Structure 1
Amino acid sequence: MPQRTLVVGDIHGAFKALIQVLERAGVSQNDKLIFLGDYVDGWSQSPEVIDYLIELNSKNECVFIRGNHDDLFRKWLDERKHNPQWLIHGGQATLDAYNLLEENIVNIHKGFLESLENYHLDDKNRLYVHAGFTNLHGVDYEYFPKMLYWDRSLWEMVLALDPELSKTSDRYPKRIQHYKEIYIGHTPTTRIGQTKPVKAANVWNLDTGAAYKSPLTIMDADTKEFWQSDNVNLLYPNEKGRN
């Protein structure tokens, strides 16, 4: 069976949705898995998500991209500094879950968070990044690395781009021309009324709102076939998810 490249959107502690969507995609050890980040914050099972990803990495070829929520949690583990904005946007669920764990497990998970990649470029010139980038010359030249997991301007730009504009036009955005395709998460497609992956220009957004009341998505980067979990709030009926 040939290897598939499967891309997974933002999980946000939804372990049940992660298991469900991997099963629906029929994931095997032949598949390469690229996770776009935001493994924590939102639903109650962030530790289970990271435990599972660490185990999965011993069986499959995996790429783990850094999300802004992953970095916020890593920073809290380093500094233990109160961050009310993070707490109200899913961080409290993460802290509640990790307060139940032994310190050695927390340290293993911290090592996972520290090992995350800011972006991944595959051999087909497809870029995988959590949020976006701002430099006209591409991700290698990004002056502000945090933009790779915080930027929303890339997605806003391609949504506003005239689909009739020629790629040879001087007005066509230079930063997206460096890559065959770009896969992102970070900004839920639910903001434009969609709960499925959305393509604008050559950018695919796979954050289909699993942090809220929508499904988690996995996509085959070659065929564009995708699979989704149930709406995550139905899997966690006694929780609120992210605000």
Structure 2
Amino acid sequence: MRQRWSRLLFAHWPVPVAEVQAKLPAGLEVDVFDGWAWLGVVPFTMEQVRFRGVGMRTFRVPTAHAFPELNLRTYVVAPDGRAGVYFFSLDAGSLLAVVGARLGFGLPYFWSSMRESTSPDGVVSYQSTRRFVRPAEFVARYRSTGKEAAQDDLRRFLTERYALFVRRSGSVQAGYISHAPWSLMEAEAEIVVNTLPQSFGFALPDRAPVLHYSNVLDMEAWTLRRVS
């Protein structure tokens, strides 16, 4: 599958390791930086979603090729030692994408009412309200400052991830992704409402999040493979 991530904000908070480990499926261990687990809330817009067909041809699915998406994620190590992302939730504005991802990949997608717009001066206004189960809401405004983000170890830990993990059919499975290194900028954000962590029993610390912004990134993803 090929896709483009546009107008993406990384907002990260440190949380106690034990709290995150208690909510992970068997076989996955928290990946730690500076003694903490990290929770990320990541709003963006998915665009140019295309699926591989016969041979090298790709095709797009109506209503599932462009839509807002919002992730609650942490970082883990799989039984084979590979580090990557674990998603507690992935909210999407496309019902077809939600159903397809749940059935095809076992990913915890939720159908949400979502709106995203960008002002002429580059401020992204983002709103998501989850439908039906695990109620959660996210409302924020954010933008790039125009200054490149520091190339430090924390940035790499939080963003340079090329695998995602799920527990499915009694085993840990991995989906591997490929993309160019992130071009990340410093960001400013006003997060008005954020109950995604609360919907999974997490309480965020009383501190400002670590913020990064990316305008666009193209990536490819492959089907899941069993790792344990």
Give the TM-score taking structure 2 as reference length: 0.24
Larger strand proportion of the pair:
2
Give the TM-score taking structure 1 as reference length: 0.23
